[in-house]
A and B are shown apart, each in its own frame.
Chain A
């Protein structure tokens, strides 16, 4: 069963704008991870945020986690055409070591 749900399902922005994607989940987690997938290819790990963390940065990426609301957001600042991809959140539950993925957000950055 899918734990995470991303919102929006699709997002189209102009180069240079910021992109925000949201993820909600249902059960307690150990950590939450964000991945990028370029069309028809494998997933690339972007960032991991632990359940006791509230915010994390990596380059142009900023992830927040609100465990009380069971939600996370991924912000990509100053977007580039190369950021065009699908973005998935995945939760690693406290009781196991397997990732459960949401359906993803398709991001299109227009140049």
Chain B
């Protein structure tokens, strides 16, 4: 079955620590996205990538970094510069002829 896999489902980060969230898709989609969701709010775009080896900042990119070395993978690193990282993170992918597909999300908590 094709889909998007995010891991881990739950992640705990200590103050000052960098953590990386994984996102893998086997849908052969060109574009991939990272969104952040805070309680009771909509999704806000962090980063997106339309093709391999290229990515663009979204609305709230500060404190985050990404890479797109492979079409299937778009990992998100939450750096220590992100002052309020506790949130639910969703990865998505799409192609010109398809609707967005979303992963099941990673819940990140700062401890």
Contacts and interface: CB of A to CB of B under 8 A. Distances in A.
A100 B90 contact: no
Interface of A: 1-2, 4, 33, 35, 40-45, 48, 88, 90, 97-104
B41 A103 contact: yes
The interface residues of chain B, by DSSP majority, are classed as strand
29 contacts: A2-B42, A2-B44, A4-B42, A33-B99, A40-B88, A42-B4, A42-B6, A42-B102, A42-B103, A42-B104, A43-B100, A45-B100, A45-B101, A45-B102, A48-B99, A90-B100, A97-B31, A97-B50, A97-B96, A98-B48, A98-B58, A99-B33, A99-B100, A101-B42, A101-B44, A102-B42, A103-B40, A103-B41, A104-B41
Given A45-B100, A98-B48, A103-B42, 5 more contacts: A42-B6, A48-B99, A99-B33, A99-B45, A104-B42
B33 A98 contact: yes
A85 to B, nearest CB: 14
Nearest to A4: B42
B interface bracket (residues with beta carbon within 8 Å of A): 20 to 34
Given A4-B42, A33-B99, A102-B42, A40 B107 contact: yes
Contacts, number: 59
A41 B104 contact: yes
